[in-house]
A and B are shown apart, each in its own frame.
Chain A
Amino acid sequence: MEFVDYLQAVTDGVMQGAYYALIGIGFTLIFGVMNKINLAYAAAAFGGAYASLGVAALIGTGDDFGLPPLLMFLVSAVAAGLFAWVVYTICFRFTPDHYELATLMATVGAFFLIEEIAVHATDGEPMDFPEVLQGIIDDPMIEFSDAFAVRGDLLTIFLLALIAMGLLLTLLYRTRLGLATRAVAQQRTAAQLCGISVDRTNATTFIIAGVLGGLAGAMIGAAVGVLSPLLFVPLTVKGLIVTVMGGLGSIPGAIVAGLLVGGLENVFLALRGITERDMYVMLLLFLFLAFRPQGLFGKKVLRD
């Protein structure tokens, strides 16, 4: 491979890494406020993307697809936010606070429940996702030279993800809701003493994370071209890896780690092929665990 081929692989990968970053942010947000992992998160995010397909199928007729592209993203985001709230209610709201095992196990149960519902509703067949990204940026291939070009659909995803991240950071650092979220994340009891409802803040955080996940789900559907329950496990694993590499609870960490994983993954793909690609991503995680367990931006806390 020549240098320009690496450049091409990294560029494509970093743009795809945008949805790893979004999923990673979702995991990290929930971890931040609750100190718990929601393993059903990526599945609920795909649930949103499936729901947008369902709504489009209800409205559209035949070849005419019912929803304009941006509305697909909106429906997916709203539906995933709703699913995230459901997951919060059945897995987090009533399980004991100091016994993490029960919550974790419940979210694994929710993961399989959502996966099975998706398999059930689609007979296990992959569903075609409309090419909603075509036409937002006119040029399908922005060519810089014979060997290097930027794909229009990936660029759209990347820009959309950046906008979503910008909105999230504004929400967290410029609004009272964000202040409450950060307060609960920082010191739960103190936040409660200031009159912040921990329960409501947790639920809101789940919904915010869910909305981001729904966007990511629709983006993945649009970039891959299909939605399939087979995507649930790999995306959950990648999202978790991004979360750990960025540092548990760190949003900038999740963004940087997401883009990093996306870029490196594409280099592994170019060098070793599709069947070995993910093995190297896992090895990357173990390197981090061995040498930098707090992640890129995490606080140096080694134990619970």
Chain B
Amino acid sequence: MDDFTWGLVQIVGVHTILGLSAYVILLTGQVSMAQAGFVAIGAYVAGMLTVLAEWHIIPSMITGGLAAAVLACIVGFPALRVRGLMLVVATIAFGEFVRLFWFNFDYRIAKGDIIVGPEGGEGFKQIRFFPENGWTTQDVAAFIWIVAAIILATLWWMDRSRAGKVLRAVGEDEMAAQSVGINLTVVKVSAFTAGGFIAGIAGALYAHYTTHIEHLNFDILMATFAIAYPILGGLANVWGTLFAAIFIQVIVIEVLRDLGDVRNLMFGALIILVMNFLPRGLFSAQVVRKLREWTGLGKTSDA
């Protein structure tokens, strides 16, 4: 495989994590258009830690995730107490707010003979932890997929635990969930915080493999990608999100590269088509049940 292909492997890995960050929140029936904002927080915080404070990537990544989680928790409280549709508006506005914050954020210090750090509209250049420490493209891709696998496994396990049942109960019917003693605000804010953490991790990885970030990277398109993967893939389990991230990034965006600009039109058209014909996503609960019957796999589970 050449470097281009390895680069694609990295992109798909980060986008899978991005989709999973929205997946947790969608399980509770809430739509967050703020995921790009959390990604931006994780990216800038982790980038500043490795570049300005010269930390290792792993503690920087976790700190970036935690920073995004704290903000998600703070924003979640007022936003999640209101109607579900209002949350869409609040999160769009929050995402744009974060983007504009980094657009105005300027903090540079001299490091050796060069000046590094985020520079407002110019962006944050020279996030060179990987090349400086001799990581090859393959190493970076492997690292990204190890992180993605840990998050996938954790969410897959959570889906089967009591926590997953509680999240889905809130997503299916808030009134019924409340009547069996589930505290809606706690559940929603927890899911939102977890989604913020995962998005922050995605951002830290994104900042380090691209080595250059700017506020325009974290626009509505990225926020849309985040919710598009789980919605198009279906919310029955985590594999739908993984499949949709691979499908959109590899087939729609890379293989169809020759079509040029038309493929951008296809992203919008694809979403509209799937929502009209398969509104619950490609792998909805019914489809998953049928697949299990046909293949005879996973019969012991609670399907």
Size category of the binding interface on chain B: 35 or more
Residues of B within 8 A of A102 (CB): 231, 275, 279-280
Nearest-Cβ distance from residue A105 to partner chain B, whole angstroms: 5
For residue A237, CB closer than 8 A to chain B, the reply is: yes
Q: Which residue of A lies closest to B26 (CB)?
A: A101
User: Cβ of B272 and Cβ of A282 under 8 Å apart?
Assistant: no
| B86/A248 in contact, CB under 8 A | yes
Q: Contact at A240–B268, with CB atoms within 8 Å?
A: no
Number of interface residues of A (CB under 8 A): 53
Question: Which residues of B are found within 8 Å of A112, using beta-carbon distances?
Answer: 221, 224, 264, 267-268, 271
Chain A residue numbers with a CB within 8 Å of B119 are none
- Cβ-closest chain A residue relative to B262: A120
B156 within 8 A of A: no
B93 contacts A90, C-beta separation under 8 Å:
no
Taking CB atoms and an 8 Å cut-off, the chain A residues in 100-114 that contact chain B are 100-106, 108-114
Task: Name the distance in Å between B162's Cβ and chain A's nearest Cβ.
Answer: 24
Residues B97 and A293 in contact, CB atoms below 8 Å apart = no
A10 at the binding interface (Cβ < 8 Å): no
B89's partner among A243, A278, A279 (CB-CB below 8 A) is: A243
A116 at the interface (CB under 8 A from B): yes
Across the interface, name the chain B residue whose C-beta is closest to A239: B89
B270 interface residue (CB < 8 Å to A): yes
What residues of A have a CB within 8 angstroms of the CB of B227 in the complex?
105, 108
Whole-angstrom distance between the Cβ of B59 and the nearest chain A Cβ: 30
Q: Is B298 an interface residue (CB 8 A)?
A: no
Task: Please pick, from B78, B97, B265, B269, the residue contacting A289 in the complex, using a CB distance under 8 A.
Answer: B78
* Bound-state Cα–Cα, A112 to B261, Å: 13
What B residues does A120 contact at CB under 8 A? 261, 265
B83 touches A100 (CB 8 A): no
Interface string of A81-111 (1 = CB under 8 A from B): 0000000001100111001111111101111
- Tell yes or no: A117 within 8 A of B by CB: yes
A283 touches B97 (CB 8 A): yes
Inside 8 A of A117's CB, which chain B residues have their CB? 265
Judging by beta carbons under 8 Å apart, are A108 and B85 in contact? Answer: no
* Least CB distance, A193 to chain B, in whole angstroms: 25
Q: Is the CB of A304 within 8 A of B100?
A: no
B219 touches A233 (CB 8 A): yes
B264 near A279: Cβ-Cβ < 8 Å? no
B-contact bits for A4-40, CB 8 A (1 contact / 0 none): 0000000000000000000000000001000111010
Q: Are A241 and B89 in contact (CB under 8 A)?
A: yes
Q: Tell me if B92 is interfacial: C-beta within 8 Å of chain A.
A: yes
**Whole-angstrom distance from the CB of B4 to the nearest CB of chain A?**
25
Please tell me if the beta carbons of A108 and B224 are within 8 angstroms of each other in the complex: yes
Question: Once the chains bind, are B82 and A100 in contact (CB under 8 Å)?
Answer: no
B185 → A minimal CB distance (Å): 11
User: For the complex, is B79 an interface residue (Cβ under 8 Å from A)?
Assistant: yes
Chain A residues in 8 Å Cβ range of B84: 100, 303-304
User: With A105-B228, A109-B269, A109-B271 in contact, do A95 and B276 touch (Cβ < 8 Å)?
Assistant: yes
User: Which B residue's beta carbon lies closest to that of A238?
Assistant: B93
**Chain B CB within 8 A of A290 CB:** yes
Interface centre among A39, A117, A283 (most CB of B within 10 A): A39
Residues in B neighbouring A106, C-beta threshold 8 A: 271-272, 275-276
Q: Is the CB of A302 closer than 8 A to any CB of chain B?
A: yes
Could you tell me the distance between the alpha carbons of A303 and B173 in the complex, rounded to whole angstroms?
12
Pair A90/B231 contact, Cβ less than 8 Å:
no
Residues of B within 8 A of A279 (CB): 97, 100-101, 104
Query: For residue A109, which residues in chain B have a CB less than 8 angstroms away from its CB?
Result: 267-272, 275
Choose among B81, B231, B276 the residue with the greatest number of A CB atoms under 10 Å from its CB: B276
Contact residues in A for B75 (Cβ distance below 8 Å): 286
Q: Let me know if A289 and B270 touch, CB within 8 A.
A: no
Residues of B within 8 A of A236 (CB): 92
Interface residues of B in 214-230 (CB under 8 A from A): 219-221, 224, 227-228
Q: Does A143 contact B (CB under 8 A)?
A: no
User: Complex Cα distance A102/B56, Å?
Assistant: 41
A17 to B280, CA, bound (A): 39
CB-CB under 8 A for A95 and B89, given A113-B269, A120-B265? no
Q: Would you give the 0/1 interface string for B72-96, flagging 1 where the beta carbon is closer than 8 Å to chain A?
A: 0001001101111110111011101
| B97 CB contacts on chain A under 8 angstroms | 279, 282-283
B78 & A116 in contact (Cβ 8 Å cutoff): no
**Footprint of A on B, CB under 8 Å?**
26, 29, 31, 75, 78-79, 81-86, 88-90, 92-94, 96-97, 100-101, 103-104, 120-121, 174, 219-221, 224, 227-228, 231-232, 261, 264-265, 267-272, 275-276, 279-280
Which A residues contact B (CB, under 8 angstroms)?
31, 35-37, 39, 90-91, 94-96, 99-106, 108-117, 119-120, 233, 236-237, 240-241, 243-244, 248, 275-276, 278-279, 282-283, 285-286, 289-290, 293, 301-304
24 A–B contacts from the bound complex (CB under 8 Å): A37-B89, A39-B88, A91-B275, A95-B276, A100-B85, A102-B231, A104-B88, A105-B275, A106-B271, A106-B272, A106-B275, A108-B224, A109-B271, A109-B275, A115-B268, A119-B261, A233-B220, A237-B92, A240-B92, A275-B104, A286-B78, A303-B82, A303-B174, A304-B83
